[in-house]
Structure 1
Amino acid sequence: MSVRNELLDKLRRARQRTAPGGFPRPRPAVPLRRAAPETADFTVFAEKLTALGPTFELAATPEAARQALAGVLARENVKTAVRWDHPDLEAVGAVAVLEGAGVTVLAPEELPERACPALGAVDLGLTGVDYALGATGSLILTAAPGRPRAVGLVPRLHVALVAASRLLPDLPALCDKLAGGPMPSAVNCVSGVSSTGDIEFVYVRGVHGPLAVHVIGLGWL
């Protein structure tokens, strides 16, 4: 009887929390848990980012950013690339750097409807970011016209240009930003290089995505 009475008590309490009509009573929104206000800078971001596998270099001028990008192309022997339409790429003149290095560049509008199979054979995916999180070293990439999500997820190398003005301290700050407008079709939070532990709990990198991620910080932008 004690078990039966306990069960009935739970049902009665549940009914008391239910509004007329059988629907749950609305509850107040749970506020995001926030740490003390922080400022985001490249020092903190780079420390968290590189701990997860990607590499980072900071460029103080557009010319320094072009040199950094050219260095990546040479080190990684990049022959083909696909890029985003993004104002930070334009600010650097990134497409001119790729073409000057003899790299065959695909624009977003040149991709087939099913882009992933084609991008599997491309050396480099070049993107900007919407935001970058200092607390976790994460790159935030949202899908939009001219910015297919596969560009940063499929080629063997992902290079992201991160402007200083796009740095945020943490995830709650990102939620505030995203809440200010319509949600995009996809939001990718990239933390480190591609990795998995699905097979016998063995941690392996580079199974289903970029083998390497390199970030160029744009300190003047």
Structure 2
Amino acid sequence: MSARDRILAAIRAARPAPLPPAEAIAAEAAALLDAPESVRPRPVEEVLAAEFVRKASALGTSFDHLPDRAAIPLAVKRYLDTHGLPPALALQPAPALAALDWTDIDTHDTVAPDQAAALGLALWGIAETGSLVIHSGADAPILLSFLPLHHIVVLEERSLLPHLEDYAARMAGQPQPRNAILITGPSGTTDIEGSYVRGAHGPGFLHILMIGG
């Protein structure tokens, strides 16, 4: 008997284990939700913002802590200068950003395929994973999160959530976006010969402007 025949014979002889009753499955699922703190990972930092920064920084995300939104243009200019980038930016066409003083930076609301830098808003941050949550919309073009080499994101500290399921709870009963993106660190891959390559599937740099605190 060939190896192929032995494998097929074993498959034919196998008998799937009987499924437990539906009531038992429902009870097991309910038990998982009964005490969520018993299965959630415990944060290292006591302060939510510190835990978010710890997780995101470990993944290669950089930070700038700002007192308010008025400080955003200067922080962006500082970031562009530090990385040797021209004073130009694809800017999310959101009223909160458009109202800022962009005198020293050339802003535009379209994203070029070779866009060096773009700035947008995050709705929430997930402290457990160091992730950003971004929804697409009329004033939030989705390509802002994918095309630029440098993705700069504004995140309000008050918008931090402890766990991913807290985001799901916030969205329960709410209108669903066409696209919901969870961004966890800059894009990278080691698929090719185990060598780390930044920007393989999206921005190679992720910089968060944390507001408040």
TM-score tier (shorter): 0.7 to 0.9
Structure-2 change in CA distance of 1:101 and 1:179 (3 Å): same
* 36, 58, 68: which one aligns with 1:51: 58
Q: Deviation per CA, 1:151-173, whole angstroms, max 9, x where unpaired?
A: 02111110000012211111111
1:65 equivalenced with 2:72 (yes/no): yes
CA distance in 1, matches of 2:48, 2:75: 20
Question: What amino acid is the match of 1:153?
Answer: F
* 88, 104, 119: which one aligns with 1:101: 104
Assess if the C-alpha contact under 8 Å between 1:42 and 1:164 holds in 2: yes
Structure-2 change in CA distance of 1:37 and 1:206 (3 Å): closer
* 82, 92, 107: which one aligns with 2:90: 82
1:144 equivalenced with 2:137 (yes/no): yes
Assess if the C-alpha contact under 8 Å between 2:89 and 2:105 holds in 1: no
Question: What amino acid is the match of 1:101?
Answer: D
Question: Which residue of 2 is the match for residue 169 of structure 1?
Answer: 162
The TM-score with structure 2 as length reference comes to 0.75
Unaligned runs of 5+ in 2: 1-11
Question: What amino acid is the match of 2:108?
Answer: L
CA distance in 1, matches of 2:191, 2:158: 37
Question: Which residue of 2 is the match for residue 119 of structure 1?
Answer: 112
CA distance in 2, matches of 1:171, 1:194: 20
- Give how far 1:197 is off: 2.4
* 191, 195, 202: which one aligns with 2:195: 202
SS class of match (2:90)? strand
Unaligned runs of 5+ in 1: 18-23, 112-117
Q: Percent identity of the aligned residues?
A: 24
The TM-score with structure 1 as length reference comes to 0.72
Assess if the C-alpha contact under 8 Å between 2:77 and 2:105 holds in 1: no
Q: Tell me how large the CA RMSD over aligned residues is.
A: 3.1
1:153 equivalenced with 2:159 (yes/no): no
Assess if the C-alpha contact under 8 Å between 2:64 and 2:209 holds in 1: yes
- Give how far 1:49 is off: 1.2
User: How many residue pairs align between the two structures?
Assistant: 192
Mapping 1:206-217, distance limit 5 Å: 206-217=199-210
Q: Deviation per CA, 1:109-140, whole angstroms, max 9, x where unpaired?
A: xx4xxxxxx62222211100011011111111
Q: Deviation per CA, 1:20-64, whole angstroms, max 9, x where unpaired?
A: xxxx89x64945544389886322211111111111011123444
- Give how far 1:200 is off: 3.2
